[in-house]
Amino acid sequence: MIKVAVTGAAGRMGKTLIEALSQTDKAVLTVALEHPSSSLLGADAGECAGVGRLGVAIGSDLASAADFDVLIDFTAPAATIVNAEFCVAQGKAIVIGTTGFDADQQAALATALAGMPAVMAANYSVGVNLCFKLTKMATEVMADHADIEIIEAHHRHKVDAPSGTALKLGQVVADAAGRDLEKVAVYGREGQTGARDQQTIGFATVRAGDVVGDHTVLFADDGERVEITHKASSRMAFASGAVRAALWVSHQASGLYDMQDVLGLH
């Protein structure tokens, strides 16, 4: 039985992670954490998640919560880096679903993750990770002639744009097409933009309502279009994948893995 800690336990994703953990007999929630200012500190994590009393009180201090094997972290970049450093020091594995890291934070995180078992992915949905694989295949066939655009939509509360998943899809396209994403990415268009450069990779972002997460990679050539689309209807798709990653990484040697490793899609 794998012991799991969940950060952001009273948030939307945290509650769904706790629900997903309650549905497996291979892992158990032993630590639930929230921001020190949360009004739910001390509350039972299971009751907050709607799965019944689990006997795990929501706390705020990871340093005093050593009773876990794997930490699942869907928080904010600065908090994730601190949590990763703690896991390294304590010999714990970590599953990271946080997005929105800038270049300096990415470098700090890479340093923190050295020498520990860690999974870091832009998206933990099994379907999305299959789309990464399909996007690579489609790019290898169509990139020389098709215009490639990535369209994503999320709920009004999401704070980073484009989404980590959209950026990952863009990187998959760029790698498969032999392009430098930093040089060819176009993030939105306005005014007299001129004719489209076929080498560019376009991104379009929608933020509205309670959209859980929609992503489409569009390959448009003369006379035909191919669209690879994933639509999430529940955060459970991401939570179940993250729990699957936690179970997997708990048995791995030190190294930085992604969800493609977990699913054997490389």
Residue count (the chain): 266
d(CA 232, CA 32): 25
Q: 3-state DSSP call for residue 66?
A: coil
User: Which SS3 state, helix, strand or coil, does residue 95 take?
Assistant: strand
Cα–Cα dist 242/126, whole Å: 10
| Residue 210 · residue 154 · CB < 8 Å | no
**Would you state the torsion angle of the CA atoms of residues 49, 31, 233, 128, taken in this order, to the nearest 10 degrees?**
180
Q: Which of 15, 92, 154, 215 is catalytic?
A: 154
Instruction: Judge whether 251 counts as a catalytic residue.
Output: no
Two structure tokens written together for 198 = 């076929």
What are 93's two structure tokens?
Answer: 């594995």
CB within 8 A of 104, min separation 6: which ones?
none
**Structure tokens of 150?**
């990535």
Catalytic residue among 3, 35, 133, 158: 158
Q: What SS3 class is residue 154?
A: strand
Residue type, 26: K
Active site residue 35: no
Planar angle of CA 67, 72, 76, nearest 5 degrees: 120
Active site residues: 154, 158
